[in-house]
């Protein structure tokens, strides 16, 4: 097996879980990469297991960019369920979108004013919230980055996807899928300045430096279907030879309709992350696949990390979720309880 196929096999194997596991009551142990001493170049796989119970009902405050799609709803579900299991309190704020940085900054102040013991932050922009995190850390408040990365700012702990590998491995999968066919790609990584979008992009860009896919353009924009639809429609007009659309779940969702409206055949759509629409689109063959980063699990681990820090218990300071590539070949076998909130779940904003 060559290096490319070995990489893809490892990624695929991460999602080939038994039906019995999908029904398991406990979410642990969960295989995840831990960066020794915070060095992302020195990682080892561990089997993560959470605490049984918290020693006291700590007050946790949670900051989300928004709760407008199933990705963040799933992180919310993981946080809420783990808080209930451990016996801690949670208050949840959502800013309303990636253009609402001032609101998230204000909400951070609200968390501090409320007497939060820990703040779980999914940052709109690391640069934008860095000063607030510094203030919170200075007051002795535990700060944990969940899903969206905090890379340079000193923080208690973080659990995030390996965004680079998600970008790289989705690119590798597209190249393998195309086989002898040449690909002409436009990439839609997400909102510029978010940090995660740029890292996704660097992985996909590096993948296209070799092989059969040529990267024509990178188009950043708000992570919403309307914003991405405009970008995709512009790209289809500007690059008439495009046959690969790569981007986040809102991009892929928008591209399904845009490609159909344009009357194009043979356009491969690949998503760098998941939502419920992607699950259906892969099953229906409208999207080639997506890279999952287990939003529910990240929410659960984020709560456990905060409690461990508050109770001075052993703590993994940097955890990276390895991507699993979900395609039509394995979509029926994945453990969706680790990825998505249950059908009909609505975000909860308080656990008392």
pLDDT digits (tens, 9 = 90+) for 102-140: 999 999 999 999 999 999 999 999 999 999 999 999 999
pLDDT at 21: 37
Residue 31 sits at φ, ψ, to 5 deg, of -75, 125
pLDDT at 266: 94
pLDDT at 18: 32
String of DSSP letters for 3-67:
HHHHHHHHHHHTT---HHHHT-S---SEEEEEEGGG-TTSEEEEEE---SS-SS--EEEEEES--
Regarding whether 186 and 131 lie in a shared domain, the answer is: no
Regarding whether 283 and 167 lie in a shared domain, the answer is: yes
Length of the chain: 352
Regarding whether 115 and 80 lie in a shared domain, the answer is: yes
Regarding whether 15 and 157 lie in a shared domain, the answer is: yes
By CB neighbour count within 10 A (0-12 exposed, 13-18 middle, 19+ buried), where does 123 fall? buried
pLDDT at 6: 35
- Check if the beta carbon of residue 112 is closer than 8 Å to that of residue 139: yes
String of DSSP letters for 74-86:
HHHHHHHHHHHHH
Regarding whether 174 and 155 lie in a shared domain, the answer is: no
Regarding whether 203 and 134 lie in a shared domain, the answer is: no
Regarding whether 248 and 341 lie in a shared domain, the answer is: no
* Domain end marker among 275, 292, 309: 292
Regarding whether 140 and 20 lie in a shared domain, the answer is: yes
Regarding whether 216 and 75 lie in a shared domain, the answer is: no
Regarding whether 113 and 68 lie in a shared domain, the answer is: yes
Give this prediction's pTM: 0.86
Regarding whether 32 and 148 lie in a shared domain, the answer is: yes
pLDDT at 155: 97
Structural domain boundaries, residue 230: 163-292
Query: Domain of 336: which CATH number?
Result: 3.40.50.2300
* Mean pLDDT in consecutive groups of 10 residues from the start of the chain, 352 residues: 38 37 69 84 92 98 96 97 98 96 98 98 96 98 96 96 95 98 98 93 98 98 96 97 97 98 96 94 97 96 98 96 93 92 96 96
Regarding whether 207 and 177 lie in a shared domain, the answer is: yes
pLDDT at 92: 98
What is the count of structural domains for the chain?
A: 2
pLDDT at 37: 74
The tens digit of pLDDT for each residue in 54-65 reads: 999 999 999 999
Bridge partners for 271 per DSSP:
247, 290
């Amino acid at each position: 097996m060559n290096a490319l196929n070995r990489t893809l096999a490892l990624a695929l194997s991460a999602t080939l879980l038994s039906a019995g596991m999908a029904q398991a009551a406990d979410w642990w142990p969960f295989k995840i990469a831990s960066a020794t001493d915070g060095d992302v170049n020195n990682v080892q796989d561990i089997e993560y297991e959470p605490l049984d119970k918290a020693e006291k009902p700590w007050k946790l405050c949670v900051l989300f960019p928004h709760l407008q799609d199933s990705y963040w709803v799933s992180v919310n579900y993981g946080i809420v369920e783990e808080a209930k299991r451990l016996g801690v309190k949670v208050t949840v704020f959502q800013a309303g979108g990636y253009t609402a940085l001032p609101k998230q900054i204000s909400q951070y102040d609200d968390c501090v004013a409320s007497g939060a013991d820990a703040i779980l932050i999914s940052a709109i922009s690391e640069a934008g919230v860095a000063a607030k995190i510094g203030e919170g850390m200075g007051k002795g408040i535990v700060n944990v980055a969940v899903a969206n990365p905090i890379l340079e700012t000193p923080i208690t702990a973080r659990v995030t996807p390996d965004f680079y590998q998600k970008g790289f491995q989705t690119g590798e999968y597209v190249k393998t899928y195309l086989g002898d066919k040449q690909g002409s790609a436009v990439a839609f990584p997400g909102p510029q300045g978010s940090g995660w979008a740029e890292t996704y992009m660097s992985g996909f860009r590096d993948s296209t430096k070799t092989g059969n896919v040529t990267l024509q353009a990178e188009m950043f924009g708000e992570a919403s279907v309307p914003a991405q639809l405009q970008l995709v429609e512009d790209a289809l007009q500007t690059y008439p030879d495009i046959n690969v659309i790569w981007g986040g779940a809102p991009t892929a969702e928008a591209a399904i309709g845009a490609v159909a409206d344009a009357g194009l055949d043979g356009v491969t759509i690949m998503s760098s992350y998941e939502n419920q629409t992607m699950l259906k689109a892969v099953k229906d063959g409208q999207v080639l696949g997506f890279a999952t980063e287990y939003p529910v699990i990240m929410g659960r681990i984020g709560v456990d990390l905060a409690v461990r820090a508050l109770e001075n218990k052993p703590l993994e300071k940097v955890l990276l979720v390895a991507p699993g590539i979900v395609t039509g070949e394995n979509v029926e076998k994945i453990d969706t309880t680790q990825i998505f909130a249950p059908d009909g779940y609505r975000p909860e904003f308080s656990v008392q």
